[in-house]
Amino acid sequence: MYPPPTRKHDLSAERLYALEVLADAGLWGSTAAMLLAYGLPVNMLANLVRDGLATARRETLRTGNRQIRALRIWITDAGQRALADAVLSANGKAEIALIAPARRNG
């Protein structure tokens, strides 16, 4: 089977930051609640999933007698490639620094 065609993703600073956070989360991914704590908006996370840069799965976590439903999000291979391409094109080095985008007022 042939690999899917590569597509250039136009990544804003906010989307780059989200991909960096997801990449840093590793194999366990990150819960949506944790990503919201980082200041990442829900609609932007949904767009990353829609664009194939991240994937999400609903999980049920147990703590004692309680069950909590959570959404866990991971970066995909396409997200890793898009992040690497953006970083390489920005500075010519394979370095990734977790820098939060500027907050918008309002």
**pLDDT the model gives residue 2:** 41
Inter-axis angle of helices 13-25 and 77-91, nearest 10? 120
What domains can you pick out in the chain, each with its CATH number? 13-91 (1.10.10.10)
The pLDDT value recorded for residue 7 is: 57
pLDDT at res. 8: 61
pLDDT for the residue numbered 65: 92
Question: What is the per-residue pLDDT for 52?
Answer: 94
Angle between the N-to-C axes of helices 42-50 and 13-25, in degrees from 0 to 180, rounded to the nearest 10: 80
- pLDDT average per 10 residues of sequence, the chain (106 residues): 53 90 92 92 94 95 91 94 82 49 51
